[in-house]
Each structure stands twice: as structure tokens, then as C-alpha cells.
């Protein structure tokens, strides 16, 4: 994966994360690509890996919000 990033093959690096079933790492990688050096770190938003990871991470965030909002406060 590091070699893919070193040569600018960001979509291939993302595919490594996805194949390793590391959706959270892939999502962070996509965010980093979008937020830092956006011009040179371009990842096609229509790429299948990008869409799958983005959807998975969004689902995770929604579940986390519901879990936090549905749980009664705990004071220990």
C-alpha cells in the first residue's frame, strides 16, 4: 500500500484497504486524500471502491449516532 501511495496510485492503495476489510482505514484514507493536497491526491468519487467505502463509513456513522442517542446517559 505504501508503494502505491509513493507512486501516486491512490485508488490502488484504497483497494488494498478494502480487500483487507479495513473499511475504517479506507475511509480515513479517503478523507486524507480529500483534505490534503487535493489536486495531487485525487480519488475518483465514482470509483467502485470509493463508493463502497464511503457508503460503509456513512452507515457506520449513522449507527453510531443512533447508538449514542438511544442509550440513556450513564453516570458512574
Per the structure, the complete domain to which residue 41 belongs is given by: 2-70
Q: What is the pLDDT of residues 49-76, one digit of tens each?
A: 778 777 777 787 788 787 777 766 666 5
- What pTM value is reported for the model? 0.54
Quick check: 37 and 72 in contact, CB under 8 A? no
C-alpha cell of residue 58: 456513512
Question: b/e map of 43-74 (b: 16 or more CB within 10 Å)?
Answer: beeebebbeebbeebeeeeeeeeeeeeeeeee
Q: What is the pLDDT of residues 7-43, one digit of tens each?
A: 878 888 888 887 888 877 888 887 777 777 655 556 7
Structural domain contains residue 75: no
Instruction: Give me the pLDDT at residue 75, please.
Output: 63
CA dist 72 and 37 (Å) reads 42
Q: Which of 23, 27, 45, 19 minimizes the C-alpha distance to 1?
A: 19
Number of domains in the chain: 1
Amino acid at each position: 500500500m505504501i508503494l502505491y501511495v509513493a507512486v501516486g496510485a491512490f485508488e490502488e492503495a484504497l483497494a488494498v484497504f478494502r480487500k483487507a476489510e479495513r473499511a475504517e482505514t479506507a475511509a480515513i484514507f479517503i478523507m486524507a486524500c480529500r483534505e490534503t493536497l487535493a489536486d495531487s491526491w485525487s480519488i475518483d468519487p465514482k470509483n467502485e471502491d470509493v463508493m463502497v467505502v464511503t457508503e460503509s463509513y456513512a452507515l457506520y456513522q449513522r449507527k453510531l449516532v443512533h447508538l449514542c442517542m438511544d442509550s440513556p446517559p450513564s453516570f458512574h
